[in-house]
A = this chain, B = another copy of it.
């Protein structure tokens, strides 16, 4: 990963060039062995007037191979990983580069918010004035009404994720915040305030995926394996759904990924989840089965999802504190899970015996969801 944060002067190719170089170095894999690039980007047409980023980013990564862009809004790079996992396990490829990047801060806050809105239904949501803080505020209100919970509970999630990012040099924020600060921050869309919302970020992430055979034959140190992948879908527009306070697309993605890996929620030692807003972390940990539906809202309040708790969630700082350069987020989660599992993450001490990690990446108001299970290889 590059550091996530405010880098309006850096282009997408600049960011992905850095992330991919680090990935090759970390993996100890020769660029020339890469058979394809599966690349995630969400809004490059608006932020950089740049489509067709596959070939551009292959070049930025120093490879000569076919390249395809995957786009499922904020879950874009995870969709590419999912396909790479399927291709590798089926013998279609031995070495694939996955990753993504997003340039956002050059648009400014209003411009980025407007661009992000293309993840919602333009005709029936965006043109009526809906933005993503508004959409997630609707979901938070529905959750409170259906299951209970308070703004304080959500604030505890933001506080926890900032705490996790304190020593994470790649995170956008290394600052402690308090529940009071969250509650007193400017309201964005009731009940979600400024500190319930992830920032707008620039950044890139990349990973080299190899087959077991390649790792063995080339003596590649690959201590973590992706053992399950799942994807779910839902109606794009909120008003078309029969639910607002749950995320069935992520339920389906998690069930499929767990089934492939042969695990259950009880086996999960740590999770990186898509907390674009604090309420989104609640939906995520319930979809992952770490909490029953309607029971996840006060998990952070009880300290259970913090470092040292029984279900550590977003030890990287999450989207909230680590940042959310959309196309990079999914592979960035996977990078953090891998580092946590192999013991070289700044927060690895919080999970010394972790064997199983999960990454949960969502697009839009969870109209798309992709879940991956990662396990320490024996």
A residues contacting B by CB (< 8 A) are: 11, 36-37, 42-43, 45-46, 48-52, 54-56, 58-59, 64-73, 79, 83, 86-87, 90-92, 117-123, 126, 231-236, 240, 249, 252-253, 363-364, 367-368
Contacts and interface: CB of A to CB of B under 8 A. Distances in A.
Nearest to A39: B71
A252 B90 CA distance: 21
Contacts of A73: 51-52
A48 B363 CA distance: 19
A120 B64 CA distance: 17
Interface of A is mostly: mixed
B72 A232 contact: no
A52 B231 contact: no
A72 B92 contact: no
Contacts of A118: 45, 49-52
Copy total for this chain: 2
Contact of A67 (B37, B123, B368): B368
Contacts of A48: 122
B68 A72 contact: yes
Given A69-B71, A70-B70, A72-B68, A55 B234 contact: yes
Nearest to A91: B90
A64 B232 CA distance: 9
Contacts of A367: 52, 55
A119 B121 CA distance: 24
26 contacts: A36-B231, A43-B45, A45-B118, A48-B122, A49-B122, A49-B126, A51-B71, A52-B236, A52-B363, A52-B367, A54-B72, A56-B236, A59-B235, A59-B240, A66-B231, A66-B232, A67-B368, A68-B71, A68-B83, A68-B368, A69-B70, A69-B71, A86-B86, A86-B90, A86-B92, A90-B91
B72 A235 contact: no
Contact of A51 (B64, B119, B240, B253): B119
A330 to B, nearest CB: 12
A70 B72 contact: no
